[in-house]
Amino acid sequence: MKAALSSFDLKALVAEWQELVGGYLDKAYQREDEVIFRINVPGRDRVELYSKSGSWLCLHEVEEKPETPPVFAQTLRRLLDNARITAVEQRGFDRIAVFTVEHAGETLRIVFEVFGKGNLVVLRGDTTVACLSTQKYKDRAVRPDEPYAFPPSDVDPLELDRSGFGTTIRGAKGQVVRVLASILNLGGQYAEELCLRAEVDKDTKVKELTDAQLDALYTALNNVVVAIEQEGRPAVLLKEGRAVDATPIDLVQYTGAERQEFPTFNTALSHYLDIAEPAAAAADEVASKYERRIAQQEETLQGLRDEIVRHEAQALFLYGHYAVFDELLRAIREGRDPPENAQVKAVDRKAHTVTLAIADFDSLVLEYDKDVTANAQAFYERRREAQLKAQRVQEAIETTRRETEAARKKAVKVAKRPKVKGTKAMWFDAYRWTMSSEGFLILGGRDARTNDQLVKKHLKEGDRYAHADLHGAPSTVVKEGSKAGEPTLREACEFALVYSKAWSAGIASGSAYWVLPEQVSKQAESGEFLPRGAFVIRGKRNYLHDLPVRMGLGEAEIEGRRKIMGGPVSAVAARSSKYVVLIPGKEDRERVAKRLAAAFEVPIEEIARILPPGGVEIAEAVRVTL
């Protein structure tokens, strides 16, 4: 299972987060190593930026946030309350995201380190003013009131030309997949992906690569970059019904796997975090890291044990043939030829050593300006040093084993932690949606991006398009709307009105209209400009007036599966025996979402995705206990 972001993942996410520029940071929440920023973005719903040190960073609504903020969260609120986001960037190809914000006339940077143990650091200039955890490394330290230094950057593979790529690969040693993963900073998944696309065996040694194979690997890298930057097919990948990964593009390694596609990589990743329980996978990954460390430590221990045996055997061998070695060392000291039976490989006059190939020793190195006893004692001293090192390694292995057991217990605890299961995800969950009382699917955009995608991908001949008579309302599509009756078209218009600014404005009723697909165009009039998510409507609009600004939310069966559905009250009542009626109000949206999540036994995120932006009031509950 995917347990953390890759550099390519972060690259795709940062491209999508450009819509956050111009937004304002609201509250900050903290739960151990998780930090959540609530962000108000003009023209779209309020979003939450979720960060888990060293693992995750994405727009993702978190169900339970501490009512009382810990000290670090309080510091973030003081430093960043209502700060305006002016830039969102990835540092090179590293797993580091930098949000630049303006607050009270000064510029600050929020640095998310999404690697290793991870960290969240707030900078004023180049000085750390707050950090989630203080850290000390060999080449840098992260502490408040001290200068901040970014980690030394690895090779940026996206900056290499074909020649530089080949030179970098040729200059390394080992299997090509390991070189791509570590030296070129691609990570294991994309290193294997390049090998698959280039049809190069991942275990091939670098020195055995042909020029054609190197060229194929470079081409594969460029194809992956182009796919992420220009094409993109975000999806959650499933194996035997279980989510195992979320990717921004099609990967060859998942050919034939079950895919659940999403309009953006962020929505795919957020859904993955909801259903895959990656916290357990992350704990398992921690445990596996400990196990790999133990394997390395045991290999070191065995090498030291061999060294102990070898040095003792060398010392005993010298004492057992004292006279022979005494004559040999004396001859070399005096510049005479060594005895004829002496198997001398080399004499180093600068280092004052002689190397012998004798008995079971291929390279027995002695210092010829010392006698036999002194050489033997040197071997005993080396044996003693190896014994001390072996003892320390043994202690380290025991410590690692204890840490491994603790990590495993944590994994079990996380896996057993009770969690409310969400309803089965379906393709239209990427958008706002409802099913009309006549059984027609109605889709609505969530923001400018999904407005664009909805119309471009899903508005077809025979559908109908609806829109509230308000600026900034979502595009709404009635699938197969040409077959729908008046009730469905009215419900589509109500749906568009509910998710418009009419709700947050507290308006009781409003107007909306529906048109044919061919009346919807992205082509602006001469001299005009259409922002992202906006469309031009040409020709007659079929208006419906005095539509109520209220909605139903209930439990329905869609394609044989239990779903929580929101929409016009008539549509929800036609499909739900258990539902509530909501109207604009002053009650906190999150508090209402929590109550409804408990009533319908689903995660709070599932309810929050359905509710319109703004205050909510429960006007009626039908067979629902609140």
pLDDT at 276 over 80: no
Same domain, 258 and 207: no
Q: Of 273, 296, 323, which residue constitutes the final position of a domain?
A: 273
pLDDT at 559 over 60: yes
Same domain, 330 and 378: yes
Same domain, 165 and 19: no
Classify residue 311: in a domain, yes or no.
yes
Same domain, 585 and 450: yes
Q: The domain that contains 225 carries what CATH number?
A: 1.10.8.50
Q: How confident is the model at residue 418 (pLDDT cuts 50, 70, 90)?
A: very low
What's the pLDDT score for residue 77? 94
Q: Of 142, 175, 197, which residue constitutes the final position of a domain?
A: 142
pLDDT digits 0-9 by tens, 104-125 = 899 999 999 999 889 999 999 9
Question: In 3-state terms, what secondary structure has residue 69?
Answer: coil
Instruction: Give the single-character DSSP code of 505.
Output: T
Classify residue 148: in a domain, yes or no.
no
* Residue written as token pair 């922002």: 531
**Burial of 565: CB neighbours in 10 Å, binned 0-12, 13-18, 19+:** buried
Classify residue 573: in a domain, yes or no.
yes
Sequence-separated (6 or more) residues with CB below 8 Å from residue 242: 276
Same domain, 404 and 470: no
Same domain, 467 and 592: yes
SS3 labels along 597-625: HHHHCCCHHHHHCCCCCCCEEEEEEECCC
What's the pLDDT score for residue 413? 56
Domain assignment of residue 224, given as a range: 156-231
Classify residue 487: in a domain, yes or no.
yes
Residue in 494, 618, 509 with CA at minimum distance from that of residue 567 = 494
Q: Taking all residues of the chain, what is their mean pLDDT, rounded to a whole number?
A: 90
Classify residue 398: in a domain, yes or no.
yes
User: Residues 281-304, buried b or exposed e (16+ Cβ, 10 A)?
Assistant: bbbbbbbeebeeebeebeeebeeb
pLDDT at 400 over 70: yes
pLDDT at 354 over 90: yes
pLDDT digits 0-9 by tens, 21-78 = 999 999 999 988 999 999 999 877 789 999 999 999 999 988 677 767 888 999 999 9
Q: Of 142, 164, 186, which residue constitutes the final position of a domain?
A: 142
What's the pLDDT score for residue 275? 78
pLDDT at 409 over 80: no
What's the pLDDT score for residue 284? 54
pLDDT digits 0-9 by tens, 591-623 = 899 899 989 989 888 899 899 988 999 999 999
Percent of the chain with pLDDT over 90: 69
What is the tally of structural domains in the chain? 5
What's the pLDDT score for residue 325? 92
What's the pLDDT score for residue 417? 46
What's the pLDDT score for residue 416? 46
What's the pLDDT score for residue 28? 94
Task: Supply angle C-alpha 613, 616, 622, rounded to 5.
Answer: 125
- Rounded CA gap, 300 and 99, in Å? 43
Same domain, 227 and 245: no
Classify residue 94: in a domain, yes or no.
yes
The mean pLDDT value for 216-238 works out to 93
Q: Which two tokens stand for residue 283?
A: 């704990």
Same domain, 23 and 114: yes
The mean pLDDT value for 429-454 works out to 93
Q: How confident is the model at residue 291 (pLDDT cuts 50, 70, 90)?
A: confident
pLDDT digits 0-9 by tens, 464-491 = 999 999 887 899 999 999 999 999 999 9
Same domain, 380 and 458: no
The mean pLDDT value for 263-269 works out to 93
Task: Supply angle C-alpha 143, 147, 151, rounded to 5.
Answer: 80
What's the pLDDT score for residue 441? 97
Same domain, 215 and 163: yes
Classify residue 209: in a domain, yes or no.
yes
The mean pLDDT value for 402-430 works out to 70
Q: The domain that contains 19 carries what CATH number?
A: 2.30.310.10
Classify residue 1: in a domain, yes or no.
no
Same domain, 439 and 349: no
What's the pLDDT score for residue 527? 65
pLDDT at 449 over 50: yes
Estimate the crossing angle of helix 162-170 against helix 211-226, to 10 degrees: 120
**Amino acid identity of 254?**
Y
What's the pLDDT score for residue 286? 62
First CA to last CA across the chain, in angstroms?
37
Same domain, 364 and 408: yes
Greatest CA separation found in the chain? 115
